Structure 1
């Protein structure tokens, strides 16, 4: 359901189902601002972390849209998600090498 521009027309889907953002906001307790960010694909306006995926899932359920498809769109657009690499790019690459057992020092 992605358009050639890489965007989903979630507002139209929601509108066709006669659901308002205010109704979704009341039911989910997600701010209208965050809901608008999801619809526009402007995920940087979301609070971050697990809140993003939780908000996206709740929004998808509210408009009766496939959660996995919307999450896949989110992951593709933000280059996050399963298999995207470490969640904290500031971690040093050799972090796990530092915690090798000390047995290699013993002779």
Structure 2
């Protein structure tokens, strides 16, 4: 299921609200700020993690301002091996899938 498919499915529920907030400007600001430190180094997971952290910052800001609870997406398998982006995927107040192994919880 793509992100767009998931968003469309969620938006059809009368109990959900769907908003799209672009992170490109925030990501570009990070890249600009880190240009000197990244000079001469090829792109890698660092840039992907910056995207995740940008989303985390926005979600936590909305949570703080609105009193909402951000849910994290990590499952038991990912948590066990440390497969997550600190301050990105892990930014939130409750891990809904914390006790669900990936093998059980993965949906195609």
TM range (shorter): under 0.3
Name which structure has the greater RCO, CA cutoff 8 Å, separation 6+. 2
TM-score, normalised by the number of residues in structure 1? 0.28
Structure of larger gyration radius: 1
Task: Considering fraction of residues, name the structure with more helix.
Answer: 1
